[in-house]
Amino acid sequence: MGIKSLPQLRSLYFYVSGQCNLNCRHCWQHKRIDEDSMVPDGNNAEIPPADLFRVIKEAKELGLYSIKFTGGEPFMNPLFIDYLNIAKNEGLRVVIETNGTLLEESHIPRLKALNLREIAISLDGANQETHDNFRQKKGAYLQTLAALKLLAKYKLPVQLIMCIHRKNKDELGDLLLLAEQYKVNSVKINPIQPMGRGQELAEKGECLPLSELLELSKYCRENLSKSFSGNLFFGLPISFRPFEEIRDRTFSVCQIFSILGLLSGGELSFCGIGHNNRELIFGNIYEDSLPDVWKGAPLLNELRQCLPKGLKGVCGRCLLKSTCLGECRAEAYERTGDLLAPHWICQEALDSNLFPTTRLLPAADKLKE
Amino acid sequence: MNIKNDKPLHVNPDIVFREEEEGAFLFHPETGELKCLNSMGRIIWSMCDGQISADLLEEKISNKYPSVPRDEIHNDLITFLEELFAIGYIGHSTAVVPPA
């Protein structure tokens, strides 16, 4: 296989804090968050703003355009606002993923000053009991609604993210009404990934089976999206999307070749997967130059060489493999220890005869016959 | 090299062609490249059987869609065929073509 040209580093996923004030029942990074939460307040190793500034400068030389602040909960880090200022001064496009519970009106001027694509806020139900049970924090729902109210008041772009499961699926319509009320730009419905605590939910039968996810996705597309003024996305792999969406590329997929994960301790990995799997850390901002890591980290280069050709299972047979690159490689690794393992939804669909046959190549053994 | 309008066209047999209700996919198994064809592209691809030329394709499409100006059909068809020809998805075959 030939050497591919070096991709640009377009987006930095910065895991601002290893701590979180909620205790979500599907969290895939809970091990790290639990460990970090054991550390007494003030003793966590936040990245000094000067170091983030240096990293961003280096990354811009490699093509950096955007930064996503995520966590843990970003607002748990007292330096978060300093980080936002750096992103603003460097002209980066900004995405913030937060549970919204710690957002205050005093934060708004800083947020308004950003080149903000969106603030993604988790909301897992249209009533207090459902959301608070899932996030395992009483009062979280009302705090999140207060954040939504603030963001609407100041006309900041918001995406609501709802993790769909057996106990909240019937609240989807009401959640969209809430989304209208708070003037959010988009709503994304995510199936629960069988990672971390999500695996436990799957084992307890609280996740929706694939057939139900497919039905719900269709219902969203054909019904709910027509009555919702914003954009409604359903987080299934693109192999299940209608032809027009693929043709017009009105979907988003993980841009794994052009992103880099910066963990709260300064480690570098593909994304937050490095929190759970330390063997996927391939650099550290305190020890390595970012360009050296981007150009030379063996794990990064191996993945660049192997994706999409080396994808296994159904992903290796899918017509869309060059477009979706197997969707979430972190989930594949977390589940199997193999970055090239098939996506669980697509593989389950193939095994249940639910994978779209027009998008599937014959198996290698069939080709030889 | 450009399309010769009177020469028969065939599709590259290595390219995987998959029809869907709203169009079709062309998939290159070696490069992994995926192209999406609209309904008209799907029809044209299916007609490139090694016997038909660009001229004859234009004729057949014009007969099927008489309300569409002939110039428009010609330009769209040639643009489409040239694009596929340039990347090796279609080629000229040696079959003798009946006059358009």
Closest residue in A to B19 (Cα) is A358
Which of B17, B18, B35 is the best residue to mutate to test the A interface, defined by the most A CB atoms within 10 Å of its own CB? B18
Tell the residue number behind the tokens 């290595």, with chain if given. Answer: B14
Q: What is the mean pLDDT of residues A69-96?
A: 96
Are the Cβ atoms of B23 and A243 closer than 8 angstroms?
Answer: yes
- Domain assignment present for residue B87? The answer is yes
Are the Cβ atoms of B18 and A358 closer than 8 angstroms?
Answer: yes
User: In Å, how far is B29's CA from the nearest CA of chain A?
Assistant: 8
User: In Å, how far is B53's CA from the nearest CA of chain A?
Assistant: 27
Q: Is-contact A110 A135, C-beta < 8 A?
A: no
- Domain assignment present for residue B25? The answer is no
User: Beta B8-11 vs B49-53: how paired, if at all?
Assistant: antiparallel
- Domain assignment present for residue B57? The answer is yes
Residue A347's pLDDT is 96
Domain coverage including residue B88:
8-13+39-92
What SS3 class is residue B3? coil
Are the Cβ atoms of B36 and A243 closer than 8 angstroms?
Answer: yes
Are the Cβ atoms of B34 and A309 closer than 8 angstroms?
Answer: no
- Give residue A29's pLDDT band: very low, low, confident or very high (50, 70, 90): confident
Residue A2's pLDDT is 43
Q: What is the mean pLDDT of residues A311-340?
A: 95
Are the Cβ atoms of A243 and B18 closer than 8 angstroms?
Answer: no
Show the tokens assigned to A236: 């299934």
The count of domains in chain B is 1
Query: If you count them, how many residues does chain A have?
Result: 369
Indicate if the pLDDT at residue B96 is higher than 70: no
Q: Is A247 on the interface with B (CB under 8 A)?
A: yes
Indicate if the pLDDT at residue A85 is higher than 50: yes
CA-CA distance, A255 to B20, in Å (whole number)?
Answer: 27
The interface residues of chain A toward chain B in range 312-351, judged by CB-CB distance below 8 A, are: 319-323
Indicate if the pLDDT at residue A273 is higher than 60: yes
Q: Is B36 on the interface with A (CB under 8 A)?
A: yes
Q: What is the mean pLDDT of residues A191-213?
A: 92
Q: Is A358 on the interface with B (CB under 8 A)?
A: yes
Of A104, A107, A101, which Cα lies nearest the Cα of A73? Answer: A101
DSSP structural state of residue A267: E
Cis peptide bond N-terminal to A72, omega within 30: yes
What percent of chain A clears pLDDT 90, i.e. is strictly above it?
A: 87
Residue A365's pLDDT is 60
- Domain assignment present for residue B1? The answer is no
Are the Cβ atoms of A323 and B36 closer than 8 angstroms?
Answer: no
Chain B CB contacts of A358 under 8 Å are: 18-20, 25
Residue B5's pLDDT is 93
- Domain assignment present for residue B78? The answer is yes
DSSP line for A194-242: SSTHHHHHHHTT-SPPHHHHHHHHHHIIIIIHHH-SSEEEE---GGGS-
Indicate if the pLDDT at residue B53 is higher than 70: yes
DSSP line for A300-341: HHHHHHHTTTT--HHHHTBTTHHHHTTS-HHHHHHHHS-TTS
User: In Å, how far is A343's CA from the nearest CA of chain B?
Assistant: 18
Cα A369 from chain centroid?
41
DSSP structural state of residue A258: G
Q: Is B39 on the interface with A (CB under 8 A)?
A: no
pTM for the full predicted model: 0.91
- Give residue A38's pLDDT band: very low, low, confident or very high (50, 70, 90): low
The interface residues of chain B toward chain A in range 67-96, judged by CB-CB distance below 8 A, are: none
Which of A358, A366, A367 is the best residue to mutate to test the B interface, defined by the most B CB atoms within 10 Å of its own CB? A358
- Domain assignment present for residue B24? The answer is no
User: In Å, how far is A37's CA from the nearest CA of chain B?
Assistant: 45
| Mean pLDDT of the residues in chain B | 92
- Domain assignment present for residue B70? The answer is yes
Chain A CB contacts of B20 under 8 Å are: 243, 358
Q: How many pairs of residues across A and B have Cβ atoms under 8 Å apart?
A: 35
Indicate if the pLDDT at residue B24 is higher than 70: yes
Indicate if the pLDDT at residue A33 is higher than 90: no
Chain A CB contacts of B33 under 8 Å are: 322
User: Which CA distances in Å does A6 have to A42, A257, A258, A313?
Assistant: 39, 9, 10, 27
Residue A30's pLDDT is 74
Are the Cβ atoms of B33 and A361 closer than 8 angstroms?
Answer: no
Are the Cβ atoms of B21 and A243 closer than 8 angstroms?
Answer: yes
- Domain assignment present for residue B23? The answer is no
